[in-house]
Structure formats: C-alpha cells, structure tokens
Structure 1
Amino acid sequence: MKFRQIAATVLISAATAIASVFVYSKYMQPRQAGQFQNGSNDIPVNYARYTGAMPGTDTRANAVPPSDFTTAAKTAVPGVVHIKTKINPRQVSNGNGLQRKRSILQDLFGDEFFGDEFQGDGGGRRYYIPGQMASGSGVVISDDGYIVTNNHVVDDADEISVTLNSNRTYKAKVIGTDPNTDLAVIKIDAKGLPYLLYGNSDNVDIGQWVLAVGYPLNLEATVTAGIVSAKARAIGINTRQRRTAIESFIQTDAAVNQGNSGGALINTAGELIGINSAIASPTGAYAGYSYAIPVNLVKKVVNDLMKYGNVQRAYLGISYADPASYTDEDLKQQGITRDMAGVIVSDVTPAGAAQAAGVRKGDVITKVNGVVTSSFPEMSEQIGRYKPGDKITISYLRNSKEYTVDAVLKNLEGNTDIVKGTVLDKLGADLISLKQEDAARLGAKGGVLVNSINSGLLKRQTTMKPGFIILKAGNTTVTSIADLRKVLESQKNVQLLGIYNGQSGMYYYNLNMAGGEEF
C-alpha cells in the first residue's frame, strides 16, 4: 500500500514538473526582440508585441508579461533625459506697504495720494534674489528632439540644458507650458533620438507592475519598480494653486525622489503610461507613494502645446459638491445616496455646456462618453482630454433615473473659439474679478484678486503674495480682469497698486511687461 502511494506521488510530481517546464518555456521566457525604433540596433520598441503575429497587427491584449524588467528598462532608459536649469540673479520690487493717509477710496482714487513721488519709475526699494540651479528629468517623445517634462522643472528657467543617456548635452528651448496639469514641452536641436512610445493609461490596472525612470538626486539614469496602488488620485498639489487645475494621478509605490520629476512611468512593455510629477512625503524624500500624470492626458496637452503654444482647455461648466457636505435630508430630497458613484452637481454655469445640455443642480454625473466617472478627478481627466467645440455624451442621474445627453464643450470665455495667449498669461497668475459686494466691503469700485502665483512676471519681478487685490494699474482704476488686460497691453512699465485683505497699508509692485528688469 505504501509503495502504491509513493509511486502515485512520484507520478504526480513528475507530471507537475513537466507541466511547469512547458508553461515556463511557452509563457515566461523573455520574448525575442522584434522590430526596433528609429533604426536602432539595441533598443526594442515593445517586447509585449512579440507573439509571432504578422507585422502590423497589435496582439498586446494576448501578450504575457515577462519574468523580469530588463527589456523594459533597456527600452526606456535611452529615451529619458537629465534636465538642468539655471535661473539668473534678478531684481524684484518688494511691494512696501504705504501707510494710509486717508480712506481707501481717497488713497486709490484721489489726486493727492498719487503725487509725483509715485509716478514714473514708481520709487520704492528694490533688491536682488540670488540665482538658482535645479535639475529634473524629461521624456523624449520624437526623434527630432521634442521632450515632455513637468512645468515645475523648467518654471522660470533662464537656461535649460538636456543631457541624453549617451552623455551628449544640448541647450533646450521651451515650446509651451501648462501649469494646470504641471506639464511642459521643450525642444533640443537633434535628430535620430531614441524615444518612448505612448501606452494607454486607461488600461492601467491597480496591482500592475510599473517602472519609474529618471535622474533622482542628481544621479545617473535610475530605474525603480513598484505597483500601481491607486488611480485617479487627487492630492491637492496643483488644485490648491489653481482653480482650473487637473489632478487625476496614477499612484504607485515605485521609489521616486527629487529629480525624478518629469521622468517616465512605464509598463512592463516599455511603454510610457505617465509622467512622474509628485511624491507624498513628510520629509520631502520618498516615503512610500509617488504620483504620475496619466499619459492619455499628457498626449492631449503635448499636442496642444506643439500646435497652438497653449492648451485648448474645455469646460463642462459645473461646480461639484462633496457628498459629505450634504445632510441625509438633502440627499434624500434629491434622490441621492451616499454610496452613489458619481459627481454631484452643486451649480451650473449660465450658458455653459452642461446647462445647454439640460444638466441641473442636484444631478449626479456618472459617465463621460461612456466612461464611468465615480469621482471628480476621474471626470476632470476625461473632460481634460477634449478641446472647446468637441461634442461629448454625459450620463447623469436625476431622481434615480439615468439620462444621457449630448454636450458641446466650451472654453473659459463661454464659446468654442481657439484660445490664444494674452498679455495676462505673462503674469503667471490665477486671477479673479472681485464681486461687487466684496469690492464694496473694501470701499472700492471693483478689483482683481490674485488667487495664486505660478510661473511668470509676478514671480520673477516681484515679491507679491497670493491674496493681493489689484485696484489700480498705472493711473487706471481696475475694476475687472478686462480693465487690467487693457492697461497691460498698452504699457511697457506698469505699477500695480492694491491691498491685502486684513492688512493695513497700500502695496505696490513694478512690472516690466517686456520681461526685462529695467523700470
């Protein structure tokens, strides 16, 4: 009896071993290299495609991941570059507070206040800020030298140099930037470069292996591995700076440190699925999670920057609400439950795309073009892939019944025209025209609130802080963003005068709209 049991065990073990060898030889061995990109002899395009299919067919859906990441790393490393930036020392206007002599209205609009000492160059103290040097990473996306990176990597840089993995170094110029997504496109004068191929971030799954490639801590090219731990993650790093920012990050536990910004997040096929942008850390160094901008959003932004020089941003025209801000009774009245997956519409913009499509306050948007949008980051990413004038479908719940309607997206001006850059873009700030009731509390006719300051003249030439309220530009009273724009378009040297809510005294800042430092 024991002999029979032993014999059976041996037979089962042998069969298992034979099956294991067969499975490994068929599915787990490294794929044979196929075609190469850019005529290179050593950089495979995508080994997940090597399944013996006819050329030109896409068999990635049936491809089996490799047993290690060597080929993926070999594919990606040559297409990821080291970016070094230099900001020259600069002179800034310090915005000294001026003691009030009379009321705010008299200070702003009275002739006595604007005497000779405040005309012309504006007077006041000026001082220099030392130069700065920094570094980051970038991803080559074409063989003729176009590179995508983070906006914060090249933000306000006077000089940008790019070092390839082959150690060749080039000077780079900025093609376009988008603070809303923290992306930028730069260009070097080179040909025949190895570049990364776009993947599809919609196909990225939680638990999937990914690699981060970049130049952290001023080291040479570095590859780290991890898994996707979440998708459509918002961490507030962009949205707290700009009302119109988009955050829908791919969260991973691949080690990312300072210097990785702008580098590649790739899948095990060596395809670009994201641009590494941020880390979650109490110390500023890697502490467990890193965040990448999904490549499907990157593609749209990059294409716009290369074609128009700025992003053609589309808006649905809604405000949204966190279900936690609603009482149970409020939710019940609107037929909404707390576990309902979707975006609750708290308000609609008059004449906006959503209102024109019939969406109302209290509706719950569940899908955009058939793609489930369980949260606002998911919805904003989907909308962010389109431009003004594009027609999409919106699915929403109202009184527990789902509706699907067509909507034509619009720009921030409320139309479908191509958005061109204006003089306001040079300021590098998020501006808001004061509401009449807010201006009245300040004793003013109107004004422009500087909600946030990013890259641009305000950051380079002044010490202005977010929260500054512009009440006068030169000798012109400013009651709206349109007023400010007219002054800036007509004058080279402009003095902005205003207040900080809750602080005494007037503040003024000198600007040279040509971008220089002479006033």
Structure 2
Amino acid sequence: MKPTFSSPSSSPKQNLLSSWRKVTKPISLVLLGGGIALGGNYLINSPQIVASPLNDSEVAQSSNSPFRSSVAQSSPDIVPQNFVTNVVNTVGSSVVRINASRTVETRLPEAFDDPYFRRFFGSQMPNMPDTQVQRGTGSGFIVSSDGLVLTNAHVIDGADKVTVTLKDGRTIAGEVMGTDPVTDMAVVKIEATELPAVVFGNSDTLQIGEWAIAIGNPLGLDNTVTTGIVSATGRSSSQVGVGDKRIDFIQTDAAINPGNSGGPLLNSKGEVIGINTAIIQNAQGLGFAIPINTAKNIAEQLIASGKVDHPFLGIRMTSLTPEIKAELQNRQNFAFDSDSGVVIVEVVPNSPAARAGLRAGDVIEEIDGKKIKTADEVQRAVEQIAVGEQLPMKLNRQGRNLALDVKVGILPSQTS
C-alpha cells in the first residue's frame, strides 16, 4: 500500500480520508501479524506433520517372499488431515476376523461319581453332555494375495476348526500352517485368490512418539480402529509379565482389548509395524505388539516347516543385585565374588548348559566378548545364535574366573 500524502490545497474530505488511512494502516499490520501467529500456532500444534500416506509407487514386492516393504523415505512429508482415514481405507480390507473352536471333555466333580451321592441325589443330578465346544475369536491380517494370514498363536491354540471372515462378509475355512507359542505367532492359510495384502514397515527403525494405528475386532466389534503413538520399544517379556515368551515388545497407547489379538499395528503410511498381542490386566493406555521384523522371520519358518527351532541353554537365572545376592547367600549358601552379572539359579539336567559344566551359583559376566548385566541380555544373546553353534561364556564361580563354550541346543516343545 502506497502512503497517502495530503497537500495544503486538499479539501476537508480528502484530509479526513488521509487521516483514516493513516489510522487503519497499523491496525491492518496488527491483524496480519495476528493471523500469521494463529496460523503458525495451528501448524505447530496440529498433529498432521507426519510421514506421507501409503503410495503404490513406493511399494516394492519381493518375488521370493510374501512379505513386502516400502521404499525408505529420505524425509517425512506433510500428510492431509485425514491420514488415518487414508490408512484405514487402504489397509482395512486386509484385516480379518478369526473364529476358532475346539471340543473338550466335560468333567464333573469327583463327588458326582460317588455311588452314595448318586443314590440319594440321582434324580437331581445335572444332565451334562460328555463334551462341549469352546469358541473364541481374534484378529489377523492377509500377507499374500493367495491367502496367507498372520495372527497370534493363542488365538487358535488347540483349535479343531478355524474360519476366517473377510471384510466383504465371506467366511472361509482356514488351515493352520504352524504355530509358535514361544513368540505367540501363527500362520493360517485360506483358499482364495486376489486378496488385498498388507505392506510391511521396518520395526527396527521405530521412533518413540510416532503414530500407531490399531485395527481389529475387540470384544466382537468388527473393524474397530484406534489410534495412539509408539510409547516405547524393546520392552522385554519379563517387563510385560509374559516370561515364557521370547520377544522384545513394542509398547503403544492405542487402545488394545481382547479380540484385538493378531491384528496389525500400523504407522502413518499404512505399513504394518507390529502384531497386537498383549495387554496388562487393569492397566489403561498400555498395549503391546510383536515387532513385525521378528514376526516375519518367525512366519517364514512356520510357512517353510510348520515349526520354529529356538536355541536353548537350559538354565534358570536372575540379574545379580545386592538384594538377590544377600537372599541367595542366606537361603542357598551361594558365595559370590561378583556384584554384577547374571547368577544361574538352576541348571536343567541333561541340558546343553549341564553338558558344558555350568552350575547353580555361577555368575555369567560375559557372552561372546560382551559384558552381561541382566538376564534379558543373556536371553537376547542366546536368541541371536544358531542351534548347534558354540556360545563362549565367561563365568565367576566363587571367586574363580572360568571360560566355557556351550553348544546351543533346541528348546524342547511344550508337549515334551
């Protein structure tokens, strides 16, 4: 706006107009500045500046594997306001409902079989069938167009019959290709073609605070979508309260409820970053997922052979703390020269650890040249080595330093 100058020869009307323009100029600048400030504040506080939505041109598919990954982005892009809707519209048809049923024997209390009891109460005895059918439901997602579905092992545990219901309403019989209770993973095959398959992200590069979207069938409510963030990564199974599993979980505050198990956890681009699997009872805003990189590795083994061979040492252990040290010294007369490391509490008979000469009371200080401080670190080191290979360890046995090599065995199945 050009400034207005008044001349002595100007009329009163022109002078008034000139004065009004002088007054309105600073007011306009103030309003413009306020608008910029408000706009900037909206952009800063609006949760829209995240990675770009799924783009078909960014997707690469391997010819040797049903698992696909998108091309890594050099920098995040600004996504539209409805990026969650875009993700749901893209991935929602790949999420399925899994129904499992099993037939179990009906067992009456022993007192009901007592002849004396039946003599007096025979007419009032309940007429119960010899068997009953137990049913459960969970979630899963399609990973290949020819009908491979990933879910949790506990969703189909012990099932005699498994069916998969697609988003379009079709219900198809499922064949269990394999389950792995140690990582709570399972693969189901359905006879169908041209199915919409998910795209996989990279769970090793997750950042705390990035978007997390869960899709599943919680509490029987099909196609439910919840959102949140990645709250933490690398949560050990002992921290989550499932010590019999061998997983480092993703933690999210996206709502996860019974029935979500086996469904996908997605990033803002619609890539699967985890498999929803666990909740802590009575907790709020705490859900856990299996990292998709771990899940893919397990799934490929299940597809190839129907099972997974996990490495096994055969020890019970705990991280050595001053409190644990004092308790073991008092209760089991263990003598410790170390104040840190992992103490072996028990060695399983005829296990690889027993054959290598490990004993209860030994303190593991190093594995494969790396210092060890926690039991979780021992578990991770064992998981990273192949069955049949030697695992070098340095121990402290009542003040004596020992170096032993343990030939890693196969984790016995739960049935054995």
TM bin, normalised by shorter chain, reads: 0.5 to 0.7
Equivalenced residue count is 356
The residue correspondences of 1:112-511 to structure 2 (distance < 5 A) are 128-230=130-232, 231-234=235-238, 238-239=242-243, 245-282=245-282, 287-322=284-319, 323=321, 324-327=323-326, 333-337=336-340, 343-346=342-345, 352=352, 362-364=362-364, 375-377=374-376, 379-380=378-379, 383-384=382-383, 387-389=386-388, 409-412=408-411
- RMSD, matched Cα: 4.9
1:59/1:238 CA distance change after superposition, 3 Å: closer
- Residue matched to 1:33: 55
State the Cα distance separating 1:224 from its structure 2 match: 0.8
Greater C-alpha Rg: 2
State the secondary structure of the residue aligned to 1:227.
strand
State the Cα distance separating 1:247 from its structure 2 match: 4.9
2: distance between equivalents of 1:65 and 1:394? 50
State the secondary structure of the residue aligned to 2:189.
strand
State the Cα distance separating 1:159 from its structure 2 match: 1.9
State the Cα distance separating 1:354 from its structure 2 match: 10
State the Cα distance separating 1:162 from its structure 2 match: 0.6
Normalised TM-score (structure 1) = 0.55
State the Cα distance separating 1:296 from its structure 2 match: 3.0
Normalised TM-score (structure 2) = 0.66
- Residue matched to 1:467: none
* Residue of structure 1 aligned with 2:100, choices 85, 88, 103: 85
AA partner of residue 292 (structure 2):
V
2: distance between equivalents of 1:86 and 1:31? 38
AA partner of residue 337 (structure 2):
Q
Instruction: Check conservation: 2:54, 2:269, Cα contact below 8 A.
Output: no
1:135/1:333 CA distance change after superposition, 3 Å: closer
Q: Does 1:73 align with 2:82?
A: no
Gaps of 5+ in 2: 1-25, 62-67, 112-127
2: distance between equivalents of 1:360 and 1:61? 51
Instruction: Check conservation: 1:38, 1:194, Cα contact below 8 A.
Output: no
Instruction: Check conservation: 2:208, 2:229, Cα contact below 8 A.
Output: yes
Cα deviation code 1:12-49 (max 9, x no counterpart): 8798799999999x96685583427699xxxxx87xx6
1:299/1:316 CA distance change after superposition, 3 Å: farther
1:273/1:34 CA distance change after superposition, 3 Å: closer
1: distance between equivalents of 2:298 and 2:396? 30
2: distance between equivalents of 1:8 and 1:328? 74
AA partner of residue 336 (structure 1):
D
2: distance between equivalents of 1:345 and 1:192? 52
2: distance between equivalents of 1:131 and 1:35? 47
1:367/1:22 CA distance change after superposition, 3 Å: farther
1:275/1:379 CA distance change after superposition, 3 Å: farther
2: distance between equivalents of 1:378 and 1:15? 52
The residue correspondences of 1:506-517 to structure 2 (distance < 5 A) are none
State the Cα distance separating 1:318 from its structure 2 match: 3.6
Instruction: Check conservation: 1:280, 1:288, Cα contact below 8 A.
Output: no
1:296/1:390 CA distance change after superposition, 3 Å: farther
Cα deviation code 1:212-239 (max 9, x no counterpart): 1111122221111122334225367644
State the Cα distance separating 1:185 from its structure 2 match: 1.4
